[in-house]
Amino acid sequence: MKHVRKLSLAFALAVTVASAEQELHSLSEISAFIEDATPRSTTFELEGKVLSTFPFPETGEIILSDSRGVRLQCFRALNLPQPEPGDTIMARGVANMSRYHEPYISLLEFRVLEHGTVPEPVSVRLSETNARTHHLTTIRTEGVVIDTFPDEIDRRYMILLLKDKDVVVPVSIPLSVFGDRSDLVDATVRVTGIYRRTVSGVRKFAWPNITPRSPTDIEIVTPPPKDPFSVPPIEKRLYLTSEEIAQMSKRSVVGEVLATWSGDKAMLRTDDGLIVNISLAHGGTLPKCGETIVAAGLPETDLFRINLTSARWKPAAEQPRTRPNEVADNAVNAFWHDNHGDSLRGEAHGKLLTARGIVRTLPSSDDTDNLRFNLDTGEMSISVDVTSNPAVIDALQIGSTIQVTGRCILLTEAGRRNYSSAKVKGFALIIRSPDDIVVLNRPSWWTLRRLTVVISVLIAALIAIYIWNRILQRLVSRRGRELYREQVAHAIAEIKTDERTRLAVELHDSLSQALSGVACHMTVGAEALESDPATAKHYLATARKMLNSCRTELRQCLFDLRSDTLEEQDFSIAIRKTLDQLESNASISIRFNVPRRRIKDTTAHAILAIVRELTGNAISHGGATEVRIAGCVEPGRILFSVRDNGCGFDPANCDGPIQGHFGLEGIRNRLEKLDGTFTIDSTPAGGTKASVTIPLPSAQRQENRES
């Protein structure tokens, strides 16, 4: 049921989100659909005849056919009803092309329209099978099993290579059903199974294959010979075509093993000097060099000679004849007909050659099937194969001068019918034993490789030092920033402390004293209230004025606490912001050319307070309609003045703290702390000009040093 739910969900998704494809109604339409690899899905409903069925893990295969001969492979859930071969059914499902470009036809439901006879297998020669004509057809054919081996992709299956003439088709059988059938090698068998033009799954571009269903689908027509080596010897005729050689049956050869390489290849030399290469069948072991063996296998050609593939061997009954010691030729001269390397000497294949040179490369120990290194002779580079003697690699070093003696092999690919000539890859020398390599000179300890290592280590050390320095710089920079922040925080704390101290002093010097005066006046006024009402009234009026002054002073202190005027770099703007709290329609002009950076915050605060007090007096007491504020810096001091067009007054006879007026007294107190001076030039009805002089910090330090 779980699988059915999955298929139902897939069907629902296909219907709702698949694509705009219309529902398909024939096998031809589905075949056209899966020819396009664009990922998409669509539903289908069609009528078809069941040719064959077969269960797979979690699903089952159904081969359908229509009246036009179109065949299609689809899959159903195992818990769906099982149709019988020969049934005509009406089927519904989903045709899907996945994002991995894999077609999959899901059969979700069907109903049997009528029962019919089981289709008979099509009898056909293996060499006459056709990928298009016989695709998904149950065929019956015969051939010789030339080799068996496990499937490289799925080890649950075994492959039987079936040959007829020059055609070889693999037969795939599950081991769980058929068991190990390596006993069929060299047997002629009759196979009944589904012929497919290519292997399904990840191998999308492969060869045709046949899949039988049960062990009875493989019948032995002729059992394998008791002696697999009792086959005709290799032809000694010349100028056979590659097709004629491919159509030959098994052949044998008797000869001495001259060399082995690549884990499955050996070179034989017959008594009459014929050189034959053999490639062993799967699972075969290589003979030893110098041993005389009998080998049997299928003939193939590289267009230079006839070789044997899928071969097996056994020791020869007769001992080899004693041969004279073979003298090794110079490899450089043996490879080419001339010194320019333009004309290949094919007869060098199989000869014993020697070469002297420098080892330029060494193979990886992991590549056990292809252990080769390059020998630089100065005239050419020679590939040396040590597959059969891997231990010699341990005695070699890059840069060593060595002498190599070995069998020469011409590296070619097998000839094909569409090749006019085999592809020659080059030559290689095959080492027969460790004695074939003689080390003449080892490289000095101080090699280019070691020099490179030393330079790399030095570069790495420099990089490490650079990185360490960068880390230290970052640590120092971060610590510097932390110290800077600490210093800034400390400075801010000091400024806040200074500001609190300043406010405390101002409150003590102004508000505290003024409030004390208020208390005294109110006490005197209360005592004289009955005896001298006029005097009492005078003292109480003075107390009221003093309270108003205290209120104004307190309001200004609160404004200073909330205001950011001290942060302004343009003093004219700071003065304008300070005077904005004054409620007046008087015209105020400001020209204050004093750089903010030249004075401390305490001095700046005092200047703003003095200007505010003088401007407020001019407006509230003098009734001024115009006020001009000017300031400048002279050597060692700051000068500024406040001029108005008010009613003016007599500075010598003006009211003071006794009368409840603390403004001018407060200005003098502020300037006294700054060593400043304060003058007033005013006459009744003539306006007023107040001038202030404040020494700069540098001038104050100079005066202190002189005193």
Whether residues 388 and 467 share a domain: the answer is no
Neighbours of 17 (CB within 10 A): 8
Helices (H), 416-564: 448-506, 513-527, 533-562
Is the confidence at residue 10, as pLDDT, over 90?
A: no
Q: What is the DSSP letter of 511?
A: I
The pLDDT assigned to 471 comes to 92
CA dist., res. 485 & res. 476, Å (int)? 14
Classify residue 58 as left (phi > 0), alpha (psi -120 to 50) or beta. Answer: left
Cα 533 to chain center, whole Å?
A: 99
Domain boundary among 420, 443, 466: 443
Q: Which backbone phi and psi does 453 adopt, to 5 degrees?
A: -65, -45
Q: What is the pLDDT of residue 358?
A: 93
Q: Is residue 249 in a domain?
A: no
What is the C-alpha to C-alpha distance for residues 548 and 268, in angstroms, rounded to an integer?
Answer: 128
- 532 lies in a domain? yes
Residue 671 has pLDDT above 90, yes or no: no
Based on the fold, state whether residues 432 and 378 are members of the same structural domain.
yes
Strands (E), 223-317: 251-261, 265-269, 275-280, 292-301, 306-315
Question: What's the pLDDT band for 255 if we cut at 50, 70, 90?
Answer: very high
Higher pLDDT, 332 or 312: 312
**Mean pLDDT, to the nearest integer, of 277-285?**
89
Could you tell me the pTM of the whole model?
Answer: 0.56
Whether residues 8 and 110 fall in one domain: yes
Residue 43: domain span:
2-114
Is residue 8 over pLDDT 80? no
Indicate whether 602 and 680 sit together in one domain: yes
Identify the residue with better confidence: 462 or 489.
Answer: 462
CB 344 within 8 A of CB 380: no
Which two three-digit tokens encode residue 304? 């230079």
User: What's the total number of domains in the chain?
Assistant: 5
Taking only the tens place, the pLDDT of each residue in 151-175 is 888 888 999 999 998 899 999 999 9
**Among residues 222, 242, 267, which one ends one of the domains?**
222
Give the mean model confidence (pLDDT) for residues 130-156: 90
pLDDT at 4: 38
Pairwise CA distance, residues 675 & 696, whole Å: 10
Same domain, 48 and 32: yes
Longest Cα–Cα distance of the chain, Å, equals: 164
**Rounded Cα distance, 32 and 26, in Å:** 10
CATH code at position 682: 3.30.565.10
Last residue of a domain, one of 70, 88, 114: 114
691 φψ region: left (φ > 0), alpha (ψ -120 to 50), beta (else): beta
Report the pLDDT value the prediction gives residue 19, as an integer from 0 to 100. Answer: 45
Check whether residue 419 and residue 476 sit in a common domain: no
Average pLDDT over residues 499-523: 64
Q: Count how many residues are written for the chain.
A: 707
Is residue 53 located within the same domain as residue 26?
A: yes
Q: What does the pLDDT read at residue 9?
A: 44
Least confident residue range of 113-117, 426-430, 441-445, 696-700:
696-700
Say what the pLDDT of residue 253 is: 94
Give the closest residue to 555 by CA, choosing from 612, 627, 637: 612
**Residue 272: what pLDDT?**
87
pLDDT > 70 fraction of the chain, expressed in percent and rounded:
82
